[in-house]
Each structure stands twice: as structure tokens, then as C-alpha cells.
Structure 1
């Protein structure tokens, strides 16, 4: 028997798992990034307001 013989059943099973995987779910917006950006923007606005007064 050759040493590099592959099991066709294993390959078929792997292909079926790949084919049945389906499309990836749509990505949702990163809520943490949005909240962090809003917090940074708020801090910048407060600092600018304190410097102007």
C-alpha cells in the first residue's frame, strides 16, 4: 500500500461539511467601537468648551 493514500470517504465528508456550511452571517456594526468613538468625541467637546470659556 502506498504511504500517501487518502481516504475518499474522509475527503467526501470534508467536502460535504464545506458545502453545507452556507454563507457567513452578515456582519453587524461594532457597538463597542461606536460607543468608544462617541465617548472620545464627547471628551473632546468638553475640553474645547472649557478652553474657550
Structure 2
């Protein structure tokens, strides 16, 4: 093993810059699929109830 093995993660300064840069993803609900699925499920229930009433 070489005595001057370099850290594969880079320097501490590079790591701190990476950790402090923040999240680049847009800020919004992360469970959008769950919200859309719930809305569709609610719509199906409303349609079934409407068909039973008529």
C-alpha cells in the first residue's frame, strides 16, 4: 500500500462545499404520486356513489 494514499472523497474543503450547497431539487411535495392516486380514488368513489343514487 502506498504511504501517501489520497482520500478518494477529496479534501475536507471540497466535502464542506458539497454538503453546504443545498438541495437542487425543486421544493414541492415529494409524494405527488400519492396525492394524484388519492384524488383519482376519491373521484372513483364519488362516481360509484352517484351511480347508486341515480
* TM-score, normalised relative to structure 2: 0.52
Higher share in helix: 1
Q: Which has the higher contact order (CA 8 A, sep 6+)?
A: 2
Tell me which structure has the larger Cα radius of gyration: 1
Structure 1 stretches of at least 4 aligned residues deviating more than 3 Å after TM superposition: none
**Count of residues paired in the alignment:** 49
* Residue segments in structure 2 that go unaligned for 5+ positions in a row: none
* Residue segments in structure 1 that go unaligned for 5+ positions in a row: none
Cα offsets for 1:17-51 (capped at 9, x unmatched): 32002233574213333222211110111112212
Give the alignment's Cα RMSD to 1 decimal.
2.9
* TM-score, normalised relative to structure 1: 0.52
